[in-house]
Structure 1
Amino acid sequence: MSASAVYVLDLKGKVLICRNYRGDVDMSEVEHFMPILMEKEEEGMLSPILAHGGVRFMWIKHNNLYLVATSKKNACVSLVFSFLYKVVQVFSEYFKELEEESIRDNFVIIYELLDELMDFGYPQTTDSKILQEYITQEGHKLETGAPRPPATVTNAVSWRSEGIKYRKNEVFLDVIESVNLLVSANGNVLRSEIVGSIKMRVFLSGMPELRLGLNDKVLFDNTGRGKSKSVELEDVKFHQCVRLSRFENDRTISFIPPDGEFELMSYRLNTHVSDHGWVAAHRALPWESGPGSFPGSGLCKAGAGESRGFSLPTGEALDLDRVCDREALAQPHRVHGQGQWLGLGKGHPMGRRPPAELLQAVDLGTPAAAGRVALPGAGRAGCLTFPSGP
Structure 2
Amino acid sequence: MVSGIYFCDIKGRPILSRRYRDDIPLSAIDRFAPLLADLEEESSVIPPCLNHRGIQYLFIEHEDLYVVALSTSLATNAAQVFTFLHKLVEALGDYLKTVEEESVRDNFVIIYELLDEMMDYGIPQITETKMLKQYITQKSFKLIKAVKKVKATARPPTGLTNSVSWRADGITYKKNEAFLDIVESINMVMNQQGQVLRSEIIGQVIVRSRLSGMPDLKLGINDKGIFTRDPETGESQVTAGKKKSSAELEDLKFHQCVRLSKFENEKIITFIPPDGEFELMSYRLTTPVKPLIWCDVNVQVHSKSRIEIHCRAKAQIKKKSVANNVEILIPVPDDADTPSFRYSHGSIKWVPEKNAILWKIRSFYGGKEYSMAAQMGLPSINGVEKPKFKRPVQVKFQIPYFTTSGIQVRYLKINEPKLQYKSYPWVRYITQNGDDYTIRLN
TM-score band (shorter)? 0.5 to 0.7
Per-residue deviation, residues 283-323 of structure 1 (Å, max 9, x unmatched): 2777xxx724548899999989xxxxxxxxxxxxxxxxxxx
| Largest Rg, 1 or 2 | 1
Q: Which runs of 5+ in 1 are unaligned?
A: 218-225, 305-354, 362-390
- 2:27 partner SS: helix
Deviations 1:311-336 (A, max 9, x none): xxxxxxxxxxxxxxxxxxxxxxxxxx
Cα deviation, residue 56, structure 1: 3.3
Q: Which has the higher contact order (CA 8 A, sep 6+)?
A: 2
Per-residue CA shift, 1:227-275, capped at 9, x if unaligned? 5237988444332334567767987655432112210211234544344
TM-score normalised by L of structure 2: 0.55
1:216–1:231 contact (8 Å) kept in structure 2: no
Deviation at 1:199, TM superposition (A): 2.1
When the two chains are superposed, the root-mean-square deviation of aligned CA atoms in Å is 4.3
Distance 1:67 1:75 in 2: 21
- After superposition, residues 124-163 of structure 1 pair within 5 angstroms as 124-137=125-138, 139=144, 141=147, 143=150, 150-163=157-170
CA shift, 1:108, in A, is 1.3
Amino acid at match of 1:74: L
> Does 247-256 or 41-50 show the bigger shift?
247-256
* Alignment correspondent of 1:385: none
For residues 17-73 of structure 1, what are the alpha-carbon distances to aligned partners after superposition, in whole Å with 9 as ceiling and x for unaligned? 101222232323322322321221122162222344443322211111111122344
Matches within 5 A, 1:1-390: 2-44=1-43, 46-76=46-76, 77-137=78-138, 139=144, 141=147, 143=150, 150-166=157-173, 171-181=178-188, 183=190, 186-189=193-196, 192-210=199-217, 212=219, 214=221, 228-229=242-243, 234-235=249-250, 236-242=252-258, 253-275=269-291, 278-283=294-299, 291-294=304-307, 357=375
Which amino acid is 1:83 matched to?
A: F
Count of equivalent residues:
300
After superposition, the Cα gap between the structure-2 partners of 1:162 and 1:302, relative to the gap in structure 1 and judged at 3 Å, is closer
Q: Secondary structure at the match of 2:134?
A: helix
**Helix, strand or coil at the partner of 1:27:** coil
Post-superposition offset of 1:208:
3.8
- Out of 247-256 and 82-91, give the one that drifted further: 247-256
Q: Given the superposition, is the C-alpha separation of residues 356 and 154 from structure 1 closer, same or farther in structure 2, using an over 3 Å criterion?
A: closer
State the identity %: 47
Equivalent residues of 2:3, 2:23 under 8 A apart: yes
Given the superposition, is the C-alpha separation of residues 71 and 149 from structure 1 closer, same or farther in structure 2, using an over 3 Å criterion? same
Query: Aligned in 2, Cα 1:303/1:170: closer, same or farther, shift over 3 Å?
Result: closer
Contact 1:199–1:264, Cα closer than 8 Å, also in 2: yes
Paired with 1:277 and 1:227, the residues of 2 have a C-alpha distance of: 25
Distance 2:264 2:35 in 1: 49
> CA 1:277 to 1:356, structure 2 compared with 1: closer, same or farther past 3 Å?
closer
The CA distance in 1 between the partners of 2:263 and 2:36, in whole Å, is 46
Counterpart amino acid of residue 183 in structure 2: I
Cα shift readout 1:125-169 (whole Å, capped 9, x = no counterpart): 333333333322264647459997642133243321111234665
Residues 259, 231 of structure 1: alpha-carbon distance in 2 compared, 3 angstrom cutoff: farther
Which residue of the partner structure matches residue 325 of structure 1? none
Q: Give the conservation status (yes or no) of the 8 Å contact 1:160–1:259.
A: yes
Label 1:90 to 1:302 Cα distance change in 2 as closer, same or farther (>3 A).
closer
Which whole-Å CA distance do the structure 2 matches of 1:259 and 1:90 have between them?
17
What amino acid is the match of 1:119? D
User: Partners in 1 of 2:121 and 2:261 — Cα distance?
Assistant: 35
* Pairwise CA distance, 1:8: 0.4
Report the Cα distance in structure 1 between the residues aligned to 2:123 and 2:316, rounded to whole angstroms: 57
Alpha-carbon distance in structure 2 between the residues aligned to 1:48 and 1:55: 14
Distance 2:269 2:56 in 1: 42
Separation of aligned partners in 1, 2:34 and 2:265: 55
Kept in 1: contact 2:192–2:296 (CA 8 A) = no
Question: What letter matches 1:67 in structure 2?
Answer: V
Kindly indicate whether the alpha-carbon contact (under 8 Å) linking 2:306 and 2:375 is maintained by their aligned counterparts in 1: no
CA distance in 1, matches of 2:297, 2:96: 47
Secondary structure of residue in 2 paired with 1:84: helix
How far does residue 212 in structure 1 lie from its aligned partner after superposition?
4.8
| TM-score normalised to structure 1 length | 0.61
1-structure distance, mates of 2:374, 2:136: 67
1:387 is aligned to none
- The structural deviation recorded for 1:91 is 1.7
Amino acid at match of 1:131: L
The residue matched to 2:289 in structure 1 has which SS?
coil
Matched to 1:133, the amino acid is Q
Native 8 Å contact 1:37 1:50 kept in 2: no
Cα 1:295–1:43 shift into 2, 3 Å: farther
